[in-house]
Amino acid sequence: MSEKTIFKRIIDHEIPADIVYEDDRVIAFRDNNPQAPTHVLVIPKKEIASLDALTDEDQALLGHLWLAIRRIAGDLGLTGGYRVTVNCGPDAGQSVDHLHFHLLAGRKMSWPPG
């Protein structure tokens, strides 16, 4: 069996994380190397390696993830706006093989992203 990712260990509550939201399908926790005053990772509990690994079966889960992101943004009071980013694959800098949405806020964001 392949080794658990660090995010699977957080889902299983084996290692500590600063969890800001959790339900039966989603967990969200603060990034431990934040790139903005608010930097939360929103992830499905289902083990999906990346955006590329999504299938038609995940359609409802994806809708649920986006609605969770909106809810978390509301709960955290991100009234000034926020950015949601998914890094997919090596060129985008994906470093953990478990689908995750970066929710970033609290500073002006530049465009194009680096």
Enumerate binding residues for ligand AMP (CB under 6 A): 6, 17, 29, 31-33, 41, 87, 93-96
Among candidate residues 39, 64, 98, 100, the one labeled active-site is: 100
Measured between alpha carbons, how far is residue 47 from residues 8, 27, 53, 91, 113 in Å? 7, 12, 10, 22, 27
Active site residue 100: yes
Q: Is 14 or 75 the residue whose CB approaches ligand AMP more closely?
A: 14
Q: Is 15 or 67 the residue whose CB approaches ligand AMP more closely?
A: 15
CA distance 62 to 85: 14
- Active site amino acids: 100
